[in-house]
Structure 1
Amino acid sequence: MADLKLPQLPDRNPVKLNISVMPDLHLALTEYAALYASTYGRDEPVVELIPAMLAAFLDSDRSFTRNRGRG
């Protein structure tokens, strides 16, 4: 087996989730998407922003990142 610098890439097959949100959260997400569009000059649908938002949230949770993989 070759000794490559690049490790094997992780699984990148998306997993589809279906969720329901309360109307106030839907409104906030829609408003966030509008602010994103005015900030970056690029419209992105809420469903495209949510995965990045969740990843950013999890990455910013120090307790989660510290304890991840211990269980």
Structure 2
Amino acid sequence: MPDLKLGKLPDRTPIKLAITITPDLQAALQAYASIYAQAYGVEEPVADLIPAMLAAFLESDRGFVRAREAQRNKQ
């Protein structure tokens, strides 16, 4: 097998998730999408922004990242 710099890509199978949110959160998400469109000149649906927002939040939560690494190291 060749020695490639790029490792095997992770599973990218989309998973559909249904949630219920408050009207205040919906308004905030709509406002975010509007400001995003102003900043980047591209209108994206809230549903398309949410996965990226969640990923950015999880990556920025240092406590979560440390705890997750600790769990991985125990396995």
TM-score normalised by L of structure 2: 0.86
Within a 5 Å distance, the mapping from 1:13-28 to structure 2 comes to 13-28=13-28
Question: What is the identity, as a one-letter code, of the residue corresponding to 2:46?
Answer: V
Q: Distance in 2 between matches of 1:5 and 1:42?
A: 33
Q: Which residue of 1 aligns with 2:61?
A: 61
How big is the alpha-carbon RMSD for the aligned residues of Structure 1 and Structure 2?
1.3
Q: Which residue of 2 aligns with 1:38?
A: 38
Q: Which residue of 2 aligns with 1:11?
A: 11
Q: Distance in 2 between matches of 1:4 and 1:46?
A: 37
5+ residue gaps, structure 1, are: none
TM-score normalised by L of structure 1: 0.91
Q: Distance in 2 between matches of 1:57 and 1:48?
A: 15
Misfit runs of 4+, over 4 Å: none
Question: What is the identity, as a one-letter code, of the residue corresponding to 1:64?
Answer: F
5+ residue gaps, structure 2, are: none
The alpha carbon displacement at 1:5 in A equals: 2.6
The alpha carbon displacement at 1:61 in A equals: 0.1
- Percent identity, please: 61
